[in-house]
Structure 1
Amino acid sequence: MAGGPGPLHHVRGVLGESVRVGPAPGAHRVAIRGSLVLLVALSTLLVLDRLDLAIAAAFGAFASLYGGRRPAPGRWRTQAWMGALLASCAAVGAVVGATPWRAWLAIPLVAAVAGLATWASDRQGWRPPGPFFLVFAAGACASVPFAPADVPLVPLVAAATAATAVLLGALEQVVLPTRKPAPPHPPRDPRIRWQVVRAVVAVAVAGSLATAIGGDHPYWAMLAAVVPFAVSHAHGQLARGVQRVVGTVLGLGVAWLLLAADLPPLPTILVAVALQAVVELVIGWNYGIGLVAITPLAMLLVHLAAPIPVDALLTSRLLETVLGVVVGSLAVVAIRPWRRRVGS
């Protein structure tokens, strides 16, 4: 049909998912916003010689991802609310991280965050949906052995970065105003209670297994376990798991090249900022493709905060990701609504 999309505009992705060949509409705006926020936050921490707090800054920067790709009246409220939630999760995680029992205390904390965020995402229509970023904030901060004096700095850095994201989003609305209302919330999932149960169980089991076997970063297993619950149907959830593994494997190859180069802090920050932009440009095509950039970005931020041997870092990421995906996929398949048979 005239005016319709050409044959190269869409292809079929992993497990049949439709993939748009090219950035989603408005993706470049999110990429610019997110990259600027991360650049300002990491550069400030570099000047202050506190790159150990880089991961807290990343959580605040996530606020810029919410509320839609295009400016809309009231979007700043959504971003401010999500920024507050992200900073709160990071704060509670940091409190756990300052205790000697952080490895096991992190499990019920992150499981509770996963359940509550899954429910809230459905009720409030978060865009992007799901508990992933809040789980990331709580789990990552709970895994870091923070000194008591540094615990208040974690939410402070996250909140300051989130405030920067909100201000940039509001400025975009002033410079590029729109009168179009925000898209309506998606319909609520009538099976949300089961989604909550699956998320809680998957996170708790994955975290317990990863901790029991001595994993270096158990929260990576918990993150991978919660990935499927950004979508509501089982097929899409299982596809997310496969994409998580495939994208992580490819992304670890990129991460190895970058970490092996042993770049100084400033070039590392610039590479991380560039990767942040790439993530937002490609994540709308396909989740697996996005992970090829997300994985090295996460590895660089972890390495900035607390450098450890590269081989150990990458191996841990792979093994704990596979563990989390397996547990999350089993939760999708095994935890189903119980239905009484007719006539029984």
Structure 2
Amino acid sequence: MTAETEPGFPQRPGLRQVLLEVSGVGERAGGAFRAALAVAIPAAVGLANGHGAAAALSALGAFAVVYGERRPYRTRWKVVAGYGLALISCATVGAGVGHLAGAASVGAWIAVIAMMTAVVVLAAIWVDALRERAPGSFLLLLCAELSAVLVLDGTASSPAVVLWTAIGAVVALGVAMTPALLDRHGPEAQAVTRAGAAVDALARQPHDDLLRRRAIHALHEAWDCLDDAGLRGQAVAPTDALSRIHRRLLAVIAFAEDQKVETSVSEEELDLMVLPRARVGERLRWGLRRPRIPVLALRLTVACVVAGGIAIAVDLGRPDWAVITAAMILHQGPDRVTGSWRALNRCVGTVIGVGVLAVITPVLGSAVLLILTVVVLMAGTEIFLVVNYAIAMVFITPLAMTLGALAPQEPLSEAVIGRIAETVIGVGVAVVTLWCVRPRGYRAVLLDSERRVVDAIEAVEADGPADAGRRRRRLEFELEAATTAVSQAGFSDPAWMLTQWPRHHRLHRQGYALLTKQG
């Protein structure tokens, strides 16, 4: 038995897939338009009122619109408003540190690096425990970093940074909710469509374990979306369509298991299989107790401090760039292989990105063209951020460098060389950290995850209807966590993972059978 021949075993992505895959770009066009609009509206108003290039700082708050994508409008406003407040808080903290640190000096950069480390560690723990979607903690860190640097360099005042961030966040909320005027159930319909496509893919290859997990995950994600929208249990088109997809999934799984195919499932039986989204308190309670959290925090702390320290020691102009490079690679808690690929993406994307900056620099002296550039770069970032990291960096690099100075203040050649050197330091430190700090941490994470799956299965199988919904929600939560753990272990150490695979395979079959009422 080998990793290549074992059905369902996680397979490492190839170089071509990592650098060139762009599946799902079309689905993000609407989000890109909203991201661009969230920057363009306040920037244009600010420009018209004589605020010039400073109006581009609204992009720091406009990042909030990204977090609302794919969520139903009934809860989207809460998410965008919450992240908007988080971005304003990060801008306030960053600008405050920049103000207190005074002019750029070794002591000032140490303070900025300490602030960045604290922000990304706390934000990454929160995002990881809640299992939030991309972009995770990255945009929060970017907001704090740029705010500090803008004030530290004297490019903008602390009140101006906070004010424009707040304006951007408020506009982002309005932009995020505007599509509800045209189709108030658009996100739910799209989630149902994705679930249907995943079940169709499984129907074509019913014995593929990976496709089965994707189909079940997409199904429950769609039910979560309907639940958040308040449509679960109502006789409306999205709910009826998802019920049919759910029944089809049951039939496909029964066929794959050589079981009797149920031609009809009652609404009461189907209702037992549909799990409302776990509450924030539940997800925090289940997520914070994992060994994955201290590993993530330790690696981020070590990498940020070391990368920033090296950049200061060799007297580079922007040590914060080395810190954010390391943090961007590590903030989602990747395994060693995925993290190394991400580091390669960062290098390739940054080199191309600074090339893009070199091309557009001549136009950045005009406030109008600078703002238009930020709008375009913001849209590109939204399209590719969760699709292809290397391409995303082509947009993120000039966006961050442009906002960080509101047009480069140092000579272009020095800026290009400096950012590439700082990127190399950050990438190198991040990769070394992945391979040397808790190098076998994935083993403890996997074994802990599997133990939690066993506990959750036993709880669901226990007699008595009391709190059955919460126990089933926890089982789904633990199965998803274990799926992530097994992928990371399989990528990092296939030989060891193969020794654990039979137990993992058995547990997941048993757990997902309970969730779909099979067996």
* TM-score > 0.5 by shorter chain: yes
Q: CA deviation at 1:328?
A: 1.2
Of the three residues 303, 315, 330, the one matched with 1:214 is: 315
Aligned residues: 329
2:69 maps to which residue? Answer: 68
Measured on the aligned residues, the alpha-carbon RMSD in Å equals 2.9
2:344 maps to which residue? Answer: 242
Alpha-carbon separation, structure 1, partners of 2:432 and 2:48: 46
Of the three residues 113, 116, 125, the one matched with 1:107 is: 113
**Within 5 Å, which residues of 2 pair with 1:216-235?**
216-228=317-329, 229-235=331-337
The answer on whether the counterparts of 2:117 and 2:300 sit within 8 Å (CA) in structure 1 is: yes
Residues 55 and 133 of structure 1: CA distance in aligned 2, closer, same or farther (over 3 Å): farther
Residues 203 and 48 of structure 1: CA distance in aligned 2, closer, same or farther (over 3 Å): farther
Q: CA deviation at 1:213?
A: 2.2
Alpha-carbon separation, structure 2, partners of 1:150 and 1:18: 39
Q: CA deviation at 1:247?
A: 0.7
1:41 maps to which residue? Answer: 42
1:283 maps to which residue? Answer: 385
The secondary structure found in structure 2 opposite 1:324 is: helix
Is the aligned partner of 1:196 residue 2:294? no
Higher relative contact order (CA 8 A, sep 6+): 1
The answer on whether the counterparts of 1:71 and 1:172 sit within 8 Å (CA) in structure 2 is: no
The answer on whether the counterparts of 1:110 and 1:139 sit within 8 Å (CA) in structure 2 is: yes
Q: CA deviation at 1:15?
A: 6.4
The answer on whether the counterparts of 2:32 and 2:380 sit within 8 Å (CA) in structure 1 is: yes
Amino acid at match of 1:66: Y
Alpha-carbon separation, structure 2, partners of 1:271 and 1:52: 11
Alpha-carbon separation, structure 2, partners of 1:289 and 1:147: 31
The answer on whether the counterparts of 1:45 and 1:54 sit within 8 Å (CA) in structure 2 is: yes
The answer on whether the counterparts of 1:24 and 1:284 sit within 8 Å (CA) in structure 2 is: no
Q: CA deviation at 1:167?
A: 1.3
1:138 maps to which residue? Answer: 144
* TM-score, reference length from structure 1: 0.85
2:27 maps to which residue? Answer: 26
Q: CA deviation at 1:158?
A: 0.7
Alpha-carbon separation, structure 2, partners of 1:285 and 1:129: 11
Amino acid at match of 2:91: A
Alpha-carbon separation, structure 2, partners of 1:274 and 1:108: 32
Of the three residues 243, 259, 267, the one matched with 2:369 is: 267
Amino acid at match of 1:65: V
Alpha-carbon separation, structure 2, partners of 1:251 and 1:142: 22
The answer on whether the counterparts of 1:111 and 1:203 sit within 8 Å (CA) in structure 2 is: yes
Provide, for residues 2-57 of structure 1, a one-character-per-residue CA deviation record: whole Å limited to 9, x for no partner.
xxxxxxxxxx7646438654543531111011101111232234334445645642
Residues 279 and 107 of structure 1: CA distance in aligned 2, closer, same or farther (over 3 Å): closer
Residues 161 and 262 of structure 1: CA distance in aligned 2, closer, same or farther (over 3 Å): closer
Q: CA deviation at 1:139?
A: 1.8
Which one has the bigger helix percentage? 2
Residues 275 and 143 of structure 1: CA distance in aligned 2, closer, same or farther (over 3 Å): closer
The answer on whether the counterparts of 2:112 and 2:145 sit within 8 Å (CA) in structure 1 is: yes
2:83 maps to which residue? Answer: 82
1:123 maps to which residue? Answer: 129
Provide, for residues 276-303 of structure 1, a one-character-per-residue CA deviation record: whole Å limited to 9, x for no partner.
2223223343110121222223333334
Please say which structure displays the higher CA radius of gyration: 2
Q: CA deviation at 1:132?
A: 1.4
The answer on whether the counterparts of 2:319 and 2:422 sit within 8 Å (CA) in structure 1 is: yes
Alpha-carbon separation, structure 2, partners of 1:330 and 1:124: 27
1:57 maps to which residue? Answer: 58
The secondary structure found in structure 2 opposite 1:66 is: helix
The secondary structure found in structure 1 opposite 2:387 is: coil
- More deviation, 321-330/178-187: 178-187
Gap regions ≥5 residues in structure 2: 1-12, 189-223, 229-276, 445-519
The answer on whether the counterparts of 2:326 and 2:427 sit within 8 Å (CA) in structure 1 is: yes
Alpha-carbon separation, structure 1, partners of 2:49 and 2:415: 26
Alpha-carbon separation, structure 1, partners of 2:401 and 2:114: 25
Gap regions ≥5 residues in structure 1: 1-11
Residues 305 and 263 of structure 1: CA distance in aligned 2, closer, same or farther (over 3 Å): closer
Alpha-carbon separation, structure 2, partners of 1:283 and 1:330: 24
Alpha-carbon separation, structure 2, partners of 1:120 and 1:51: 36
Amino acid at match of 1:68: E
Of the three residues 413, 418, 421, the one matched with 1:319 is: 421
The answer on whether the counterparts of 1:93 and 1:141 sit within 8 Å (CA) in structure 2 is: yes
Q: CA deviation at 1:81?
A: 1.0
Residues 310 and 207 of structure 1: CA distance in aligned 2, closer, same or farther (over 3 Å): same
The answer on whether the counterparts of 2:84 and 2:166 sit within 8 Å (CA) in structure 1 is: yes
Of the three residues 151, 161, 165, the one matched with 1:158 is: 165
Residues 149 and 305 of structure 1: CA distance in aligned 2, closer, same or farther (over 3 Å): closer
Alpha-carbon separation, structure 2, partners of 1:73 and 1:51: 36
- More deviation, 203-212/85-94: 203-212
Identity %: 31
Alpha-carbon separation, structure 1, partners of 2:155 and 2:19: 48
The answer on whether the counterparts of 2:343 and 2:431 sit within 8 Å (CA) in structure 1 is: yes
1:329 maps to which residue? Answer: 431
Amino acid at match of 1:219: D
